[in-house]
Structure 1
Amino acid sequence: MKVENSVIPTQEQMAGFLAPGPDGPISMVNLLKFKDKASYEDGRETEMTGAEAYAVYSRGVAKTLAKVGGKLVFSGEVSRLMLGEVEELWDSVAIAQYPSRAAMLEMMQLPEYQEIAVHRAAGLAGQLNIETTRSIVFETDR
């Protein structure tokens, strides 16, 4: 299995996201790798680490998530790899839940999201963003 972090989706990935998909809620699992030092595309000077710049983004994204009916359901730092093998571990994991793909797209188009997205780009070296849907495999009430 090849694993490649990215900051921006490919055209193929974006087309897949925009294509008809699940009607109901989705959860996005984010495996995050931060830059050692934040680097802003507009050239602004900063002493922030990548994680600190991403934290500015994450505080803002919590508000925009709520505007579209979404929420952050989990975030944490990666401490070690329990099973499997990768060349380099991610720094953090975050799981965001949205009512639908359309709600996620709506959030990304909000002006306030656009304003904070610069901090995401400044802080991230790359990430994996995995779309998930509800599964009966893990339901415990059956």
Structure 2
Amino acid sequence: MVAFSPTAYDAFLAEVDDAPVVMLNLIRFRPDGGRQRYLEYLEMAKPILARFGARILFGGDGLPVLTTGSDDAWDAVVLVQYPRRSAFSDMVADPDYQVAFKVGSGAIADIHLQPLKSNQAAA
């Protein structure tokens, strides 16, 4: 099921909204055609993302995990950059996105969304 944690979402939106944010999407597809439905969702979502100034930086399939600990690999990873936190929030509330979201959520068995901010020391 795809659902936001209200506490985490509110805290995310309460932060200073003056810099781009990258959303890390770790995705596991439903076994019954989830990958194909997700690709349909992406085609629907791309023009909506563009309308809000967002862009996909990377999308790819997960490979086997190389580290010790949990070996639960993700089926796919997508990195999406938004110009501001509010652009993400506005997109999520958009009626066109809500239609696309229904397709996307039907494709996903599990997802972790983690916002990332730039660390100038690592750049």
TM-score (normalised: structure 2): 0.91
Which of 82, 99, 103 lines up with 1:98 in the alignment? 82
Is the contact made by 2:26 and 2:76 (CA closer than 8 Å) also made in structure 1?
Answer: yes
Cα RMSD (Å) of the superposition?
1.5
Kindly tell me the number of residue pairs found equivalent between the two proteins: 123
Q: Relative to 1, partners in 2 of residues 1:36 and 1:70: Cα closer, same or farther, differing over 3 Å? A: same
Tell me the CA shift for residue 21 of structure 1: 3.5
Alignment of 1:128-139 (within 5 A): 128-139=112-123
Which of 100, 103, 109 lines up with 1:119 in the alignment? 103
Of residues 115-124 and 79-88 in structure 1, the stretch that sits farther from structure 2 once superposed is 79-88
Which of 7, 26, 33 lines up with 1:12 in the alignment? 7
**Aligned-partner residue type, residue 89 of structure 1:** A
Question: Please, which runs of 5 or more residues in structure 1 have no aligned partner?
Answer: 1-5, 38-48
Which of 29, 35, 48 lines up with 2:30 in the alignment? 35
**Aligned-partner residue type, residue 56 of structure 1:** E
Is the contact made by 2:65 and 2:71 (CA closer than 8 Å) also made in structure 1?
Answer: no
Runs of 4+ in 1 over 4 A off after TM superposition: none
Question: Please, which runs of 5 or more residues in structure 2 have no aligned partner?
Answer: none
Is the contact made by 2:21 and 2:84 (CA closer than 8 Å) also made in structure 1?
Answer: yes
TM-score (normalised: structure 1): 0.80
Identity, in percent, stands at 25
Tell me the CA shift for residue 25 of structure 1: 0.3
Tell me the CA shift for residue 84 of structure 1: 3.6
